Amino acid sequence: MKRMRTTWAVAILVGCSALGCNSRGEQAATTAPGDFTRSEAKERIQADQRFASGTRRMSLDWDVAVNGVSSIAKFRDDVPPDVGMALSSAATPHVASARQRGRSVELILTHTLEPLVMEVVGITDEGTSAMKLVPFQWRYKDLPEVLAPFIGTPPPYQGQALFRKYDDGWRVEKLDWQPKGFS
Residues 73 and 139 occupy one common structural domain: yes
Mean pLDDT of 143-166: 84
- What separation, in Å, do the N-terminal and C-terminal C-alpha atoms of the chain show? 71
Same domain? 61 vs 21? no
pLDDT band at 54 (very low <50, low <70, confident <90, very high): confident
- The answer to whether residue 181 is domain-embedded is no
Best-predicted range by mean pLDDT (2-6, 66-70, 89-93, 105-109): 105-109
What mean pLDDT is predicted for residues 83-107? 69
Does residue 95 share a domain with residue 67? yes
* Mean model confidence pLDDT for the chain: 74
Look at residue 31 in the predicted model and tell me its pLDDT: 52
Residue 10 or 62, more confident: 62
Looking at the fold, whether 71 and 159 belong to one and the same domain comes out as yes
Q: Which residue did the predictor score with more confidence, 88 or 35?
A: 35
* 166 plus 98 within the same structural domain: yes
pLDDT for 134:
98
Question: DSSP H helical segments within the chain, as ranges?
Answer: 2-19, 38-47, 49-52, 62-73, 83-90, 148-151
On whether residue 183 sits in a domain, the answer given is: no
Which pLDDT score, from 0 to 100, does residue 36 have?
92
Residues near 126 by Cβ (< 8 Å), separated by ≥ 6? 132, 133, 162
Q: How confident is the model over 131-151, as a mean pLDDT?
A: 86
Q: Which domain holds residue 130?
A: 31-176
pLDDT score for 14: 42
134, 170: one domain: yes
Residues 109 and 170 in one domain: yes
The answer to whether residue 1 is domain-embedded is: yes
Count of domains for the chain? 2
Residues 49 and 121 in one domain: yes
Say yes or no: 12 and 91 in one domain: no
Question: What pTM value is reported for the model?
Answer: 0.68
Please give the single-letter amino acid code of residue 147.
Answer: L
Judged by average pLDDT, the poorest of 38-42, 70-74, 127-131 is 70-74
Q: Are residues 25 and 103 in the same domain?
A: no
Q: For 155-182, how does the pLDDT look when each residue is reduced to its tens digit (9 = 90+)? A: 898 999 999 999 999 999 999 987 654 5
> Do 6 and 94 fall into the same domain?
no
Same domain, 24 and 37: no
Residue 14 placed within a domain: yes
Share of the chain above pLDDT 90, in %: 30
**Cα–Cα–Cα angle for 87, 91, 92, nearest 5°?**
115
163: β partners: 132, 172
